[in-house]
Chains A and B, each alone.
Chain A
Amino acid sequence: MQRTKNQKAWFLVLPVFLLVAFSAIIPLMTVVNYSVQDSFGNNEFFWVGSEWFVEVLNSDRLHDAFGRQLMFSGIILAIEIPLGIWIALKMPKKGWAVSVCLVLMALPLLIPWNVVGTIWQIFAREDIGLLGHTLAALGVDYNYTQDTLSAWITVIVMDVWHWTSLVVLLCYAGLSSIPDAYYQAAKIDGASKWAVFRHIQLPKMKRVLTIAVLLRFMDSFMIYTEPFVVTGGGPGNATTFLSIDLVKMAIGQFDVGPAAAFSIVYFLVVLLVSWVFYTVVTASDAEDQS
């Protein structure tokens, strides 16, 4: 849409600006302030300069958490995106079945994150959970509180369960905007299923898929509640992701300085990734319009 130039539009944006500035700038500046100081409580601070940053950047604990985080986000993207596309392609196109599918699929998205954790914590327990019990009956060696691999599989399956529907719904929205005429034309041309997917469906989904990848990457990158409830970050530190480690540091140990330095590094990484995505999306939009 052609937008007209009007500086008065700032007045319409002002409430949002003030509200978000209050909730974002004050906390962020506080984090910046804390990151260069040490504190023993009571609002007494001591200047330490770059000490916390050097410590945090060179800390094995955080390198490990960062590595685990990248691995986790990578794995869930590699599973959820193709799976989501595939299910969206197989969705019914019209009739009551669509509504039923959409509502049932969206259900996991609306469950409070700690309840998602609780559901899987119960479901995977050997003594009272259906999954854990079945696996034990089949003789599979599975125990998510003791065994690293089991814990990882539980956390990943939980995330797939929780969030694949988001990808499905996004792709479905993209697919349902394709006019029937396209499919009929493809049929007349005798196009294969793959050709239809490659040249009609995938281009239409490009935009929503970018949003899906962005949202899934970001949300998995800040995941806290679900793995915390299920595994508590364990066994050992096996499922301690960045946010779990950060909260442990900031609230648990009250290491305000290192936690603040950690927060800034974390935030900068997130900012970089969002900016790259945003630039790519807006650039491809501009291309589509021209």
Chain B
Amino acid sequence: MDLAWMGWTTFTGTFLAVIASLLIAMTVWEIARPGGAPRKGLLGFTSTRGDRLFVTLLGSAFIHLAWMYFAGGVDLWWALGLSGLYGLAVFRWV
């Protein structure tokens, strides 16, 4: 099957690989420590590890969009760093 139409790049390939390895890591974590450590966090709903990862990823996507809206397409590393901090906060408090 010819995959040229999909237009893969190193960047998007890495992106997919990171998401996939995050999911695998979560699976391994879940097998090692089952239950997902549910708790009622800052946002008022019961969340497990998986929920926190989802909130992190979705939030990061919006952080990047906001960065591109306000600061243009430059220095996206800042947005990535911000997302990292946001992720830590989510895993700590949500």
Contact = CB atoms under 8 A, between A and B. Distances in A.
B12 A32 contact: yes
12 contacts: A30-B5, A30-B6, A30-B7, A33-B9, A33-B12, A49-B73, A50-B68, A53-B73, A57-B65, A265-B65, A271-B58, A283-B45
B65 A268 contact: yes
Main secondary structure of the interface of A (DSSP, over half): helix
Interface size class of A (residues with CB under 8 A): 20 to 34
A39 B7 contact: yes
Nearest to B2: A43
A136 B12 CA distance: 57
A272 B54 CA distance: 10
B69 A33 contact: no
Contacts of B8: 33
Interface in A265-290: 265, 268, 271-272, 275, 279, 283, 286
Nearest to A269: B62
Contacts of A265: 65
B68 A36 contact: no
A279 B41 CA distance: 13
Report, nearest first, the 5 A-B pairs whose CB atoms are least far apart. Answer: A50-B73, A43-B4, A57-B69, A33-B7, A54-B73
B37 interface: no
B25 interface: no
A182 interface: no
Contact of B69 (A58, A272, A286): A58
B54 A275 contact: yes
A43 B4 CA distance: 6
A286 B73 contact: no
Contacts of B54: 275
Interface in B10-60: 11-12, 15-16, 45-46, 54, 58
A242 to B, nearest CB: 16
B12 A36 contact: yes
A210 to B, nearest CB: 15
A40 to B, nearest CB: 12
Contacts of B58: 268, 271-272, 275
Nearest to B72: A54
Interface in A34-87: 34, 36-37, 39, 43, 45, 47, 49-51, 53-54, 57-58
A283 B61 contact: no
Given A29-B16, A268-B62, A272-B58, A53 B68 contact: yes
Contact of A29 (B6, B46, B61): B6
A53 B68 CA distance: 7
B3 to A, nearest CB: 10
